[in-house]
Amino acid sequence: MIIVSDCVKDNLDEGCIKVASTVSKRLKKSGAKVVAVNCNCNYADQSVSANKAFTNSALYEAIGNAKGNILYIPFASNTLGSAIRTFNLAKKTKKRVSVIFTLRWKMNCMTRAILQLSHCQIVTISKDSYEYFSKELPKLKVFNVTTGVDIGKFHPVAETEKKELKKKYQLPADKTIVLHVGHLKHERNIDVFLNLDDKMYVVLVFSGTTEHDNELEKSLKSKSNIRVIDNYIPCIEELYQASDVYVFPIVEENNSIDVPLSVLEAAGCNCKIISTNYKEVAYFEDTKGLLRVKNEEIVGLQPLLERIVGMNEVSTYKIAKKYDWSNALSDLQKIVD
């Protein structure tokens, strides 16, 4: 197998990057060759520069005579550009190309036509995207893999360790610690955290690789019960383990990848979770400690938090076990090979 991606990186601070990098690292251990395009990472077998259409000879020299078919993981997901790159990968290498789309955009007729002419295989990570691509691209094979979290890294800790982690990150012991991890964008509905009272202490961890909404950042930092962290945290699992409630407030489509990885990581640490029914979250099994709400309800976050804090039993870890990365690797190998 040859993995080609423009979003394999060492700092895993964005959803698509996490998917591409985690899949690449794990499949590399099984013999896959990793070709990084226009990006650098320590584990890639080769790093090359290429134009937007993937017509450069350097790319195909890097692929060379490596055995197996191609797994392409584009950062841009199912855009016209990604369709063109998929088509060129297939035609220039004469190999079958499977492409993972982590985020679903509406496609125009040209994008659909080019993807179908490439004879590629589509791999989705959410059930509703599987249904969408199956309908829009009837001539192509479409597969869905259930994945998104490393339960070896994101796991529950004992209450004593939770208290120690709160001390380590200087979190107040007498308040409910509310966590959100993602991007500092108004479109992600981050404003809902501004209206929480002082019984709640909010920790917001934002990606440093994407643009920030400066006005929103200023408003958040002006609140004494909100801490904004915008640098990369290698041991991000510790913040999940130290927190009491994870909140995923996104309403608008395409402001997160199809499977919100942060929700799964919170589940891996057995956090209480408040989330909208965004994409794959709608398919999570009902379990204690998971509060799924309608889009219009997330505006009233304070009463939702007070409601979930009173829940004594939590079993969100059950969700994460079904989405462990290791479950999908054999499925991906079968699909690609």
**What distance in Å separates the CA atoms of residue 39 and residue 37, rounded to the nearest whole number?**
5
What pLDDT, on a 0 to 100 scale, did the predictor assign at position 306? 95
What pLDDT, on a 0 to 100 scale, did the predictor assign at position 330? 85
Is the pLDDT score of 255 beyond 90? no
- In tens, the pLDDT along 132-187 reads 999 999 999 999 999 889 999 999 999 999 999 999 999 999 999 999 998 888 88
Is the pLDDT score of 1 beyond 90? yes
Is the pLDDT score of 208 beyond 90? no
Is the pLDDT score of 211 beyond 80? no
What pLDDT, on a 0 to 100 scale, did the predictor assign at position 328? 84
What pLDDT, on a 0 to 100 scale, did the predictor assign at position 183? 86
- In tens, the pLDDT along 286-336 reads 999 999 999 999 999 999 999 999 898 999 999 999 999 888 888 899 999
Q: At 191, is the pLDDT very low, low, confident or very high (cuts 50, 70, 90)?
A: very high
**What distance in Å separates the CA atoms of residue 181 and residue 140, rounded to the nearest whole number?**
35
Calculate the average pLDDT of the chain: 93
Are the C-beta atoms of residues 220 and 228 closer than 8 Å to each other? yes
- In tens, the pLDDT along 110-134 reads 999 999 999 999 999 999 999 999 9
Which fold would CATH assign to domain 159-322? Answer: Rossmann fold (3.40.50)
User: What does the pLDDT average to over 189-210?
Assistant: 89
For 246, phi then psi, to 5°, come to -105, 135
What residues contact residue 183 under an 8 Å CB cut-off, 6+ apart? 14, 206, 207, 210, 255
The CATH number assigned to the domain with range 2-144 reads 3.40.50.2000
Torsion, Cα of 273, 277, 283, 285 (10° steps)? 30
- In tens, the pLDDT along 64-115 reads 889 999 999 999 899 999 999 999 999 999 999 999 999 999 999 999 999 9
Alpha-helical segments (H) within 145-213:
159-168
Are the C-beta atoms of residues 228 and 217 closer than 8 Å to each other? yes
First to last CA, the chain: 7
Name the segment(s) of the chain with CATH classification 3.40.50.2000.
2-144, 159-322
**CA neighbor of 19 nearest in space, from 134, 124, 96, 141:** 124
**What distance in Å separates the CA atoms of residue 296 and residue 125, rounded to the nearest whole number?**
26
Q: How distant, in Å, are the alpha carbons of 115, 132, 277, 299 from that of 290?
A: 38, 27, 11, 17
Query: Exposure pattern of 311-326 as b/e (b: 16+ CB <10 Å)?
Result: eeebebbbbbebbbbe
